[in-house]
Amino acid sequence: MRRAARLALVGVAVAAPWLVARVAPGQQRYVVHVLIFTVLFAALALSYDLVVGHVGALSLAHPAFFGVGAYTAALLATRAGWPFLADVLAAVVLAGAVALVAGVPLFRLTEHAFAVGTLAFALVAWIVATNWVDVTRGPLCVTGIPKPVTTLPAWYWLALGALGVVLLLYRGMTTFRLGRALHAVRDNAPLAAAAGIDPLRYRMLAFVAGGALAGGVGGIYAHYLSVFCPEEMTIALTVNLLVIVFLGGVGTLRGVLVGAVLFTALPEVLRLAPTWRLVIYGALLLVIVIRSPQGLDGLFRRAASASGR
């Protein structure tokens, strides 16, 4: 039954462009564009949840890895003429390498100091992207990034394929022995260490994997928009990711996917200016963490267990 439901969901996701064409033929371009954003944000949020939800490290550095990936792909494509797959792969590798180099010192910090250290790192990355004009063109943005596919439905399937890859990796890392080790580190690091699970190794693993995947998503994102600016990697991105992850349900696959869909659908329905959007997201985040820290997924589960009894 559950298997059938899941297959049906995947079927709907793959067939979405056709469904949209049947239901809203006049608005197909716009709706598919929103769907592409939803899928890319879902992939990015899953990569973030690996770090925040599964090893419990509240990193605020994710925009830095997203930006490193985006700039890597954009610059390799525009200046060196690399093909799409090769430059996205380079984005994954370079973002992962940056996460590795930054993670070694940052994970010596604990709690607040870790959060502030990662936030400072993200700000340094943004300052460099804005001011290193010779390479990034600064506020003038990298423009003319080639598109590997041209039609919107093709872009949608490409993004969906990327989400599929991230999803498989996410599942693989958060279940089985590896997933239990990550959760042991999150729930009680000293106990995990006593049981022979090195907390630092697993934290680094999640941090580097999350950073590398964020870099890959960043690369695809830059190709899709064909322009990438330093403003895409500010603290606003961290807030978006926190809202998705905490709105849906931190540390749960279903929760993060629900969060991504609601998060990208909501502003389209409300039609808001970006500043009002951030005001509402911030207020929403505040209410969620205070009232329902498990997110919507926690509410579902509570409702399900209440009706099951």
Partner 1 sequence: MLMDVLEQLVHGLTLGSMYAMVAAGLALMLGVARLINFAHGEFFMLGAYAFWYGYRQLELPYAVAGALAVAVMVLWGLAYQRTVIRAILPRSWHVQLIATLATSIVLTNLAIIVFGTQPKEVPTALSSRILDVGGFRMAAQRLLVLAGALVIFWALHRFVTRTRAGRAMRAMSQNREACAVVGVDVQQVALVTFGLSAALAAAAATLVSPLFNIFPDMGTGLTLKAFAAVVAGGFGYVNGAIAASFLIGITEALAGSYLSYQYKDAIAFLVMIAVLLWRPQGLFGRRLGI
Q: Is there binding between residue 299 and partner 1 (CB under 8 A)?
A: no
> Cβ distance 202 to 18 under 8 Å?
no
CB of 43 to partner 1, least distance (A): 22
Query: Of 44, 288, 299, 65, which Cα lies nearest the Cα of 170?
Result: 44
Going residue by residue from 256 to 275, which x/- string records binding to partner 1, judged by CB under 8 A? -------------------x
Place of tokens 């797959």: 85
Judged by beta carbon, residue 10 or residue 133, the one nearer partner 1 is: 133
> Cβ distance 58 to 233 under 8 Å?
no
Per CB under 8 A, the list member of 293, 299, 303, 304 interacting with partner 1 is 293
Judged by beta carbon, residue 2 or residue 271, the one nearer partner 1 is: 271
H or E element at residue 143: strand 142-143
Going residue by residue from 14 to 53, which x/- string records binding to partner 1, judged by CB under 8 A? ----------------------------------------
How far apart are alpha carbons 175 and 178 in whole angstroms? 7
CB of 233 to partner 1, least distance (A): 14
Strand 142-143 relative to strand 227-228, pairing: antiparallel
Q: Tokens standing for 62?
A: 């994710």
Judged by beta carbon, residue 291 or residue 309, the one nearer partner 1 is: 291
Q: CB under 8 A: which stretch of 68-76, 161-169, 194-202, 238-246 binds partner 1? A: 238-246
> Cβ distance 301 to 256 under 8 Å?
no
Per CB under 8 A, the list member of 40, 192, 242, 258 interacting with partner 1 is 242
Q: Tokens standing for 218?
A: 């960043």
- What SS3 state is found at 124? helix
CB of 167 to partner 1, least distance (A): 25
Going residue by residue from 157 to 196, which x/- string records binding to partner 1, judged by CB under 8 A? ----------------------------------------
Per CB under 8 A, the list member of 285, 298, 300, 301 interacting with partner 1 is 285
Show contacts with partner 1 in window 56-95 (CB under 8 A): 56, 58
- Burial class of residue 201 (count of CB atoms within 10 Å of its CB; 0-12, 13-18, 19+): exposed
CB of 78 to partner 1, least distance (A): 24
Q: Is there binding between residue 112 and partner 1 (CB under 8 A)?
A: yes
> Cβ distance 16 to 261 under 8 Å?
no
Q: Residues in contact with partner 1, total (CB under 8 A)?
A: 38
> Cβ distance 160 to 13 under 8 Å?
yes
Place of tokens 């490290």: 57
Q: Tokens standing for 42?
A: 């879902």
For residue 191, report the phi and psi dihedrals to the nearest 5 degrees.
Answer: -65, -45
Q: Is there binding between residue 227 and partner 1 (CB under 8 A)?
A: no
> Cβ distance 139 to 230 under 8 Å?
yes
Q: CB under 8 A: which stretch of 10-18, 37-45, 70-78, 117-125 binds partner 1? A: 117-125
Catalog residues that contact partner 1 under the rule CB under 8 A: 56, 58, 105-106, 108-113, 115-117, 119-121, 123-124, 127-128, 131, 235-236, 239, 242, 246, 275-276, 278-279, 281-283, 285-286, 289-290, 293
